[in-house]
Amino acid sequence: MNAKQLTAAETIVMKCIWDADHEMSLAEIVKNANEGYGKEWKPQTVSTYLAKLCLKNYIQMKRAGRTITYEILITEEDYKSEQAREFVAFWNNGSLKQFITAFYKDEPASKDEIEELRNAIEELEE
């Protein structure tokens, strides 16, 4: 995928779009960002972020008459997977074991979490 890096603000805008079950308008995105993430963004601010997200090929603008909505081009799942891989590669030399050890350094994993990890590993082996 190799998507371009998102800023913190662009990530919030994308999260609003990803969380919706339909293509969103500018007004909906502004409302969701302000209410869901404690922002006080104006439509012009969000419009600027949307334009940058279009240039980075995360979304594309769709026009139907006077209505403009934004269509997702990179799914949240694909983005999260790439970000996780990059994080592990950079901070843990690509070692998932090092990542998990660091993650649970200060607070040990619960029995349920360990069981979830075992099940996930077994699924990967299949």
Q: Which CATH number fits domain 8-72: 2.10.109.10, 1.10.10.10, 3.40.640.10, 2.40.10.120?
A: 1.10.10.10
pTM of the model: 0.85
CA angle 91, 82, 87 (to 5 degrees): 10
Tell how strand 67-72 and strand 59-64 pair up: antiparallel
Distance of CA 106 to the CA centre of its chain: 26
pLDDT digits (tens, 9 = 90+) for 105-117: 999 999 999 999 9
pLDDT digits (tens, 9 = 90+) for 63-102: 999 999 999 999 999 999 999 999 999 999 999 999 999 9
> What is residue 75's three-state secondary structure?
coil
